Amino acid sequence: PDLAAKYGYTLEAHKVITDDGYILEIHRIPFPRYQTKSYSPGRRASILIMHGLGGSSADWVLSGPGRAL
């Protein structure tokens, strides 16, 4: 979450508890950089990206704007 804020992204963190009691935290970046609300009215498509085993959501923003996904 701190990396997303560092690069100007709004980030939402959500806790999910699996059926076996494991607690996951998932992250959502709802808007483009430096915006706090949608720049286009209406619904936008959702995209789910998942890191590999041993990775984290930081993998998507670690390199900074223009170099990271």
Answer yes or no: is pLDDT of 41 > 70. Answer: no
Q: Which residues, at least 6 apart from 60, have a Cβ–Cβ distance to it below 8 Å?
A: 49, 51, 68, 69
Provide the residue range defining the domain that includes 69.
1-33+46-69
Q: How many domains is the chain built from? A: 1
Q: What pLDDT score does 7 carry?
A: 84
Residue 40 lies in a domain: no
Residue 18 lies in a domain: yes
* pTM beyond cutoff 0.75: no
Residue 39 lies in a domain: no
pLDDT tens profile 11-38: 889 999 999 999 999 888 888 777 766 6
Alpha carbons 40 and 24: distance in angstroms, whole number: 31
Residue 5 lies in a domain: yes
Query: Residue 35 is encoded by which pair of tokens?
Result: 């915006």
Query: Residue 18 is encoded by which pair of tokens?
Result: 């699996």
Residue 58 lies in a domain: yes
Residue 56 lies in a domain: yes
